Structure 1
Amino acid sequence: MASLAFPSIAKKVVVQDGTTYGYAVVAPAAADKPVFLLLHGYPSSSYDWRNQIRTLSAAGYGIIVPDLLGYGDTDAPGGVGAYRFKTMSQHMVDILDSEGVSGCIAVGHDWGCGLLSRLVTYIPDRLIGVVFLSLGREINGYETHGYWLWHGTEEAVQDCETHPASVFNLLYPADPEDWKRYFAPVDKAAEYVRTGQLAPLPSWFSLDEYTMRDRILQMNGYRGPLNWYKAAMQGLNLPDEREISEVDKECRVPTLLVVSDQDYVLLADAQSENTKKWAKDLRIEILDCGHWIQLERPDKLQGLLEEFAAEIGNGTS
C-alpha cells in the first residue's frame, strides 16, 4: 500500500475505465536516467519493492510502483472478469501517461511477470527493456503448481483471511525447501494454512516489515489477489490472446531474466530454457536465493538493474 508504506511519494490516479490505482512515484534525477516500472506479485503490494524504491531513486532513476489490481490503495473488484491482462495492461498505459512517461524499463516479479509478458505484447512501444524476476516461461519436472487448485476455490479466500500468519509463513519461508513439502503438492498448501501452522520469520524479513505487510494485506483481503488465479484458470484471457499473432507473441525488446536456484516452484532451468524461445535479446542471471529475489538479494539485484539500464541506453521520460 503506497500511501501507508511510502506516504511522501504516494499518489492515486483514476484510469480511463474508472478504476483507482495507488502507486509510489519518484521522477528521474536527470534526463539520461530511465524510469523503472515495478510490478509486484502474489500476495504482495508496492511494499515488496521497498529496497528498490530506495536504491533506484538514490541512484537517480525514476520509479513508478503501483499497487496492482486487488491490492493496497488500488481498487479490488470482487468480480473475476476485471482481472484480464489486456485490461490491466491498459491501466499501466494510463499510469505512464498520467506521469508523462513515454518509455520505461518494466520489472515484474511472480504474477507481475504475467502482466509484464502481456505488456510486451500489447504495448511494446512503451518499453525500452524488460526484467523478469523468478518467472519466465516454464515446464516442470515434478509437481509444482498443486496450490492452484486451492487458490481457485471460494474457500481459499476465507482460509487466507482466517489464518494470515500461516499464509505468510507458507509463502515467505525461512527454508526455501518448505515449498517442496508444503506449497507445491496438491492439497498441502490448504492443509498448512487451515491448520494454522507457523514458522520463524526469514532472516531477510524483519518483524516491523512483517507488521507493515500484514496491515497492507488486511485492507482488501485476499479476494482480489486470488482473482488473478481464478481469471487464469477460467480462461478469461484466451479471447484476447487468440487475436495475438505469432510474431507479436515474441519479446523484441532487451530482456533480463533473473532466477534463483532455491525457488522450488519456478525452477531456474525451466524458466531459462523456455524464455530463450520467446525473448530474442536475452540475458540470464541465476542467483543463490529463494523466490523473493528483490527481498533476499537486493544489493545484487540493484547491480543487475543498473547494468541492464546502462546496456540498453536511455529511455524518454
Structure 2
Amino acid sequence: MALQLFPNTSKSVMLEDGTTYAYISIPASSPSRPTFLLLHGFPSSSFDWRRVIPLLADDGYGVIAPDLLGYGDTDKPTEVAAYSQKRIADHVKELVLKEGIKQVIGVGHDWGSGLLSKVALAHVSLFAGIVFTSVGYVPPGDFDVDQVNARTEQALGYPTFGYWKFFNEDEAGSVIDANQDSFVSLVYPQHAEDWKATMGPLGAAKAMVTSAKVTPLPSWLTEEDVQKHKQIFGKGGLTAPLNWYKSAIRQVDAPYYATFTTEESKCIDVPALVILGEHDYVCVPAFQTQTADAYLRNHRVERLQCGHWIPLEQPAAFSALLKEFAKSSLGA
C-alpha cells in the first residue's frame, strides 16, 4: 500500500493503457549505485519489502517497489483476462522507464518471481541482473495444477498446490474476506512445516479458512504487521489478487506462451541469483533449482534457513545477498 503507508517515498502514475500503479520510488545516491526493482507476491504489496528497502536505501541503492496489479493502491480490475502476465510485464517495463532508469536489478518473490521471469523474457535489456526468491524461474508454458499436485505427491508424499484449486473458485475472494484471521494463520503459519497439512492437500486450505481456526503468529510477524496487512486488503479485498491464480489456471497467456517454440527460446543469459528458503514446503527448493539449472545460463543458488517469507524472515541476510550480487554482477 505504497501511497498510504509510505507517502514520503511513493508515487502514482497512469500508464498508456489507462492503468494506474502506485509504487515506492527511492533514487540511487549516485550513478554507480544500481536500482533494485522489487516485485512482491501473494498476498502482499509493496509493504512486504518494508524490512529490506531501508537496508538497500541506506547503502545508496535505488528502489522501485510497485503495488502490483490488483494490490494496494494500484488498480484492481475484476476481469481475469486483465491479469495476463505479458500485459503486467509490459506495465512493469513502462513503470521503470517513466522513472528515467534504463536498467535495474529485478528481484521477485513468490508470484513476483513468476512475473520477473516474464519481464526478463519480454524485455531482457531492462535488466543488469535478476533475483528469484522462494520461487525460481518460471518458464513460459501452460500450467496444469493437477499434474503438479500428482507429481509432488509422488515425490514428497503430499501435493504442494492443493490450495490453487480453492483460489480458482469464483467465490474464493469473498470467502477469504469473511475469514481474515484464519486466512492469516493459513498463509503465515507459526511453523513452516504446517503447510504440508494446510496448504498442499486438496481441500485443506479452504477447510482451514472456513473453520475460523486461528493459530499463534510466527516469531517474525507482529500483530501490528497483521493489522496493516488487513488495512491493505480492506481496500478491495482478495478477489482481484486471486486473479493471478485464475489467469494461470485458465491459460490467459496461452497465445503468448505459444510463441516460445523451443526450450532454448525460454532461456535467459542475464546474471541470475536464486534465493531459497530451506524450509519452504510449498515452493520446495529442489524443484526451484531444477528449473534454474534448465533455463538460467548464468546463475547461482543460495539457501537460507527459513521458510517461504524470506524478505520478512531473513531481511538482513537477504539484503546482504542482494548487495553482494550487485557488486559481483556490476561492481556496484
Distance in 2 (alpha carbons) for counterparts of 1:172 and 1:61: 29
Distance in 1 (alpha carbons) for counterparts of 2:84 and 2:280: 27
Aligned to 1:192: 208
Say if 1:257 and 1:285, in contact at 8 Å, map to a contact too: yes
Structure 2 unmatched ranges of 5 or more: 139-150
Aligned to 1:279: 296
Given the alignment of the two structures, is residue 161 of structure 1 paired with residue 177 of structure 2, yes or no? yes
The residue type equivalent to 1:163 in the other structure is N
Deviation at 1:248, TM superposition (A): 3.2
Aligned to 2:141: none
Normalised to the residue count of structure 2, the TM-score between the two structures is 0.93
**Alpha-carbon displacement from aligned partner over 1:25-48 (angstroms, at most 9, x marks no partner):** 000001100000000000000000
Deviation at 1:137, TM superposition (A): 5.1
Aligned to 1:214: 230
**Alpha-carbon displacement from aligned partner over 1:35-79 (angstroms, at most 9, x marks no partner):** 000000000000000011111111100000000000001000000
Aligned length: 315
Aligned to 2:256: 240
Distance in 1 (alpha carbons) for counterparts of 2:118 and 2:14: 21
Deviation at 1:242, TM superposition (A): 0.8
Deviation at 1:180, TM superposition (A): 0.4
Aligned to 1:311: 328
Task: Give the % identical residues.
Answer: 39
The residue type equivalent to 1:269 in the other structure is A
SS at match of 2:52: helix
Aligned to 2:21: 21
Question: Greater CA deviation, 133-142 or 44-53?
Answer: 133-142
Aligned to 2:193: 177
Aligned to 1:100: 100
SS at match of 1:51: coil
SS at match of 2:51: helix
Deviation at 1:107, TM superposition (A): 0.3
Deviation at 1:103, TM superposition (A): 0.3
Deviation at 1:155, TM superposition (A): 2.3
Q: CA RMSD in A?
A: 1.2
Distance in 1 (alpha carbons) for counterparts of 2:265 and 2:12: 32
Say if 2:173 and 2:239, in contact at 8 Å, map to a contact too: yes
Distance in 2 (alpha carbons) for counterparts of 1:24 and 1:314: 25
Say if 2:42 and 2:241, in contact at 8 Å, map to a contact too: yes
Bigger RCO of structures 1 and 2 (CA < 8 A, at least 6 apart): 1
Aligned to 1:56: 56
Say if 2:113 and 2:137, in contact at 8 Å, map to a contact too: no
Distance in 2 (alpha carbons) for counterparts of 1:309 and 1:137: 19
**Aligned counterparts, 1:136-151, within 5 A:** 136=136, 140=152, 141-142=155-156, 143-151=159-167
Structure 1 unmatched ranges of 5 or more: none
The residue type equivalent to 2:165 in the other structure is L
Given the alignment of the two structures, is residue 205 of structure 1 paired with residue 216 of structure 2, yes or no? no
Distance in 2 (alpha carbons) for counterparts of 1:120 and 1:99: 18
Say if 1:180 and 1:264, in contact at 8 Å, map to a contact too: yes
Aligned to 2:316: 299
SS at match of 2:242: helix
Distance in 2 (alpha carbons) for counterparts of 1:248 and 1:217: 38
Say if 2:136 and 2:291, in contact at 8 Å, map to a contact too: yes
The residue type equivalent to 1:273 in the other structure is Q
**Aligned counterparts, 1:44-83, within 5 A:** 44-83=44-83
Given the alignment of the two structures, is residue 255 of structure 1 paired with residue 248 of structure 2, yes or no? no
Distance in 1 (alpha carbons) for counterparts of 2:59 and 2:124: 26
Say if 1:157 and 1:222, in contact at 8 Å, map to a contact too: yes
